[in-house]
Amino acid sequence: MTTLLIKGGRVIDPANGVDEIADIYIEDGRIAAAGGKAKTEIDASGLIVCPGLIDMHVHLREPGQEWKEDIESGSRAAVAGGVTSMCCMPNTKPRLDHAGVVRQVIERARQVGLCDVYPIGAVSRDLEGKELTEMRELMRAGAVAFSDDGNPIWHSGVMRKALEYASTFDFLIIQHAEDLQLTKGGCMNEGRISTQLGVSGMPAVGEDDMVSRDIMLAKLADARYHVAHISTRGAVELVRRAQAEGLKVTTEAAPHHFALTEEELLGFNADAKMSPPLRTEEDRQAVIEGLRDGTISVIATDHAPHHEDDKHCGLSCAAFGIVGLESMLPVSLGLEREGVLPMSDLIATMTSNPAKLLHLDAGTLSEGAAADICIFNPDEKWTLDRNKLFSKSRNTPWHGREMTGKVVHTIKNGRVVFQKGDVIG
């Protein structure tokens, strides 16, 4: 019987309303009632002990684009960031639109054994937005929600049917809300900076109009609808109103959207290019306000690894996306320091809230739960070096910047998989 004792840390377990100095006792990979001596002990005094983080929006690139990332490197990046469960988006090659591919991804993640991977199934075959996938079959294979992420489900008729069908079985539809007619050719937020740089912009209204339409369709279908990576003031307000109306509408924010603005693009920085793009300070404040009042209940990274060659070709040609798993926690901790969210609520956005939304058996330190744990020092300062990321890709806007908050240990099923800056296993 393997046992592990985490001693004297500040245990924050939002699912159970716990925030106190306590010990955590782990027996055979599960959280157990307080026990006696353990074979291994971790001194967590001065550290925060919380459930392993959940990142419900990542791109792992396997199968199909393994030079950017694969399930193993993505898992290593995850545990280095304190993440022990992640949901991967279906825009792989082949797509996650058949049960076989979904099973393959889950199986490969199990072999790697560092981080649980919960696939998000495709809404439409080949992400073409025309015919629906066999969602029930994908769900049985292990998909936890559905999205065409990377693409919006732009066709109103298809979106209506997708929401109605998903609602029939209580599945969640996650939308990449982008009106492609309005964002066509754009490579950053449309506004002051895009005009200075002389590049085509992606106007905020291109997100707002899609969210607005979707909310109306979700109401019609009585469906559970989730806006991925929300980035505009207008979209946050639309979701807030929908929730006030009692609709089953939820949303997530990515750390870059509440930490950075379009100013990052000055100098044509392709490592600050993603979709939806970094917006204005006003939008950033609106996302922060959405997190504060609970309109936005989840923080998810939209971890999107790309090879240097896809970024080194001029801003308007560069691929969309940045890596995020390894910077998620320190960047998000800024919200606690700035008084936006108390620590427990902040941790809930990366643990119990996504778990509840996706019905995941994760994100809690309840007795008997799998011992997935993140132990971090909220005050430790370090400098992010793109060359030292565990991800295969290095497309991060935070290179060279000081981070506050560092993951010290990550524990998966009772086994220490990350400590002292190294992935174990």
Partner 1 sequence: MSTPHQQMFFQHLFGIGQLSKEQIEHLVSMGESFIELSRRPIKKAPTLRGKTVINLFFENSTRTRTSFEIAGKRLSADVINISASTSATSKGETLLDTAETLAAMQPHVLVIRHSIAGTCEFLADFLPHTSIVNAGDGAHEHPTQILTDLLTLKTQASGYEGITMTIVGDIAHSRVARSHLLAAQKLGYKVRVVAPKTLLPSQVEQYGCEVFHNFDEAIPGSDVLYMLRVQTERLTDNCSFPSIREYHEAYGLNRKRLALAGDNCVVMHPGPMNRGVEISSDVADSARSRILDQVEHGVAVRMAVLTALCGTAPEPEKRTPRREKAEAAMQAQGKLL
Q: How far is CA 45 from CA 9, 11, 13, 365, in A?
A: 5, 10, 16, 18
Any contact of residue 325 with partner 1 (CB under 8 A)? no
Which residue lies nearer to partner 1 by CB, 8 or 191? Answer: 191
3-state SS of 92-160 is CCCCCCCHHHHHHHHHHHHHHCCCEEEEEEECEHHHCCCCECCHHHHHHHCCCEEECCCCCCCCHHHHH
Would residue 113 be called left, alpha or beta, if left means φ above 0 and alpha means ψ between -120 and 50 degrees?
left
Minimum distance from residue 275 beta carbon to partner 1 (Å) = 18
Any contact of residue 191 with partner 1 (CB under 8 A)? yes
Report the SS3 class of residue 423. Answer: strand
Contacts to partner 1 from residues 35-74, by CB under 8 A: none
Radius of gyration of the chain from Cα atoms?
20
The CA distance from 295 to 237, in Å, is 9
Which residue lies nearer to partner 1 by CB, 216 or 315? Answer: 315
Binding mask 297-316 for partner 1 (x = CB under 8 A): ------------x--xxxxx
Which residue lies nearer to partner 1 by CB, 29 or 191? Answer: 191
Place of tokens 């599945």: 171
The two tokens of residue 152 are 């919006």
Contacts to partner 1 from residues 332-391, by CB under 8 A: 385-388, 390
Binding mask 98-117 for partner 1 (x = CB under 8 A): --------------------
Whether residue 302 lies in the annotated active site: yes
Minimum distance from residue 52 beta carbon to partner 1 (Å) = 21
Choices 109-117, 164-172, 197-205, 368-376; region in contact with partner 1 by CB under 8 A: 197-205
Place of tokens 């049985």: 140
Minimum distance from residue 10 beta carbon to partner 1 (Å) = 29
The CA distance from 416 to 309, in Å, is 35
> 174: Cβ–Cβ under 8 A, 6 or more apart, which residues?
57, 120, 145, 146, 147, 149, 226, 227, 228
Any contact of residue 196 with partner 1 (CB under 8 A)? yes
Which residue lies nearer to partner 1 by CB, 51 or 186? Answer: 186
- Decide: 115 and 78 in contact? Cβ < 8 Å: yes
Minimum distance from residue 114 beta carbon to partner 1 (Å) = 14
Catalytic pick from 116, 149, 271, 302?
302
Minimum distance from residue 315 beta carbon to partner 1 (Å) = 5
Choices 168-176, 196-204, 344-352, 399-407; region in contact with partner 1 by CB under 8 A: 196-204
The two tokens of residue 192 are 């002051």
Minimum distance from residue 410 beta carbon to partner 1 (Å) = 15
The two tokens of residue 290 are 């959405």
CA dihedral of residues 283, 286, 291, 294 (deg, nearest 10): -140
Residue of 17, 36, 157, 198 that binds partner 1 (CB under 8 A): 198
Nearest to 346 by CA among 379, 405, 299: 299
Place of tokens 């400098």: 383
What is the full DSSP assignment across 325-389? TTTHHHHHHHHHHTTSS-HHHHHHTTTHHHHHHHT-S-S---TTSB--EEEEEEEEEEE--GGG-
Minimum distance from residue 338 beta carbon to partner 1 (Å) = 28
Q: How far is CA 274 from CA 136, 260, 271, in A?
A: 32, 12, 8
Query: Does an H or E element contain 90, and which?
Result: none
Contacts to partner 1 from residues 255-294, by CB under 8 A: 267-268, 270
Binding mask 394-423 for partner 1 (x = CB under 8 A): x---------------------------x-
Which residue lies nearer to partner 1 by CB, 315 or 340? Answer: 315
- Residue 314 amino acid letter: G
Choices 87-95, 184-192, 337-345, 397-405; region in contact with partner 1 by CB under 8 A: 184-192
Minimum distance from residue 313 beta carbon to partner 1 (Å) = 6
Choices 160-168, 199-207, 323-331, 355-363; region in contact with partner 1 by CB under 8 A: 199-207
Which residue lies nearer to partner 1 by CB, 73 or 297? Answer: 73
Residue of 4, 158, 172, 197 that binds partner 1 (CB under 8 A): 197
For residue 30, the number of C-alpha atoms closer than 13 Å in the C-beta half-sphere is: 9
Q: Contacts with partner 1: how many residues (CB under 8 A)?
A: 28
Active site members: 302
Q: Residues interacting with partner 1, by CB under 8 A? A: 190-192, 194-199, 201, 203, 267-268, 270, 309, 312-317, 385-388, 390, 394, 422
